[in-house]
Chains A and B, each alone.
Chain A
Amino acid sequence: MAAAALREQLNALLSSMFASGLVDEQFQQLQMLQEDGGTPGFVAEVVTLFCDDADRIISELAALLDQPIVDFDKVDAYVHQLKGSSASVGAQKVKFTCMQFRQLCQDKNRDGCIMALAVVRNEFYDLRNKFQTMLQLEQQIQAQQ
């Protein structure tokens, strides 16, 4: 595919990510850091770190909520961490769900937490798919330059 068409595809993807609220202005800040700071690969590096970290945290949370007696402090600590990383990359939907999730932890609401985990997992998988497509498109564009 021609570079122009790839770029169009990338722009459409990014627009839809912003429009649907999947990512917010913080993600735009990261893109600007990369452009202005002359640090190629910065967004890719941060996004990859975020995805690996989130994936690990979601597995930990599933294991914790599966226990007969749930350690809500531990659950809360993991959700706090996920909330922090999602805020840093601008993963707005994941961040908002984490905020609700923390409230459910504080209420020691196990069923609520299990539901929140399901929501956060879906949102994260959706975001990760789009991030992966974004990075692939960027690589293809770069390869043609």
Chain B
Amino acid sequence: MTTITPPNLHQHEIILDVKDLRVAYGKVEALHKVSLAIRRGEIVTVIGPNGAGKTTLLSALMGLLPAEGEIVYMGHAQGREREVESLVRHGMTLVPEKRELFAEMSVEDNLLLGAFDRYRSGHRDQMETMDEVFELFPRLEERRAQLAGTLSGGERQMLAMGRALMAKPKLLMLDEPSLGLAPLIIKEIFRIIGELKKTGVAILLVEQNARAALQIADYGYVLETGEISLAGPSQELAADPRVIEAYLGLGHKH
């Protein structure tokens, strides 16, 4: 898959830079001073137990939730009122935890709508992009005429990812792609995520499945009760006993 590189965007350039992000529901902060950075062509994972605020983080980045703090995307500081549509136009896409597919539409139409904004801004390369997506997910090509609502769990996740790729993203954010999937399918999904990396797209992978995520990621953050408690290259994190503690509450800290 080809991704056009803007002239000012070189390898290892920071695509997303977040500093001191705070999100509050009412009086309770769901995220407290979260900072992270993602470079071009890099997979960054945010792992953490249930309820740590991972989905909140992605929703805030995507402009679905209001947030305080500094978000610099592709060199542009984002204001408080970020609009989903304009972020999509600038190449940010989110594959949400609930997939949010168009259930009563065919696989093909779902994919086509992934390129809606590109179509609207004058691009007419949807068919080629779709072929590239089919190359990555041959299963989707087999099921191209089937309604999205009739797909299996794994196929749904593939369709959600394929639909996001139709927008030719610069930054792909995946919210728990392994959620509710059988181990074999998870393996397949993660293999594809690894392949996507080669195309140069930056990937922010939010996962509960820590081991799988750390295996393919370059860098990882551990999010615990709304705060980053650990960060580091993923191999280091994978070996850190504190990661297990965070998940199972073995260490009686505080």
User: Are the chains A and B members of one assembly?
Assistant: no
Task: List residues of chain B with CB under 8 Å of any chain A CB.
Answer: none
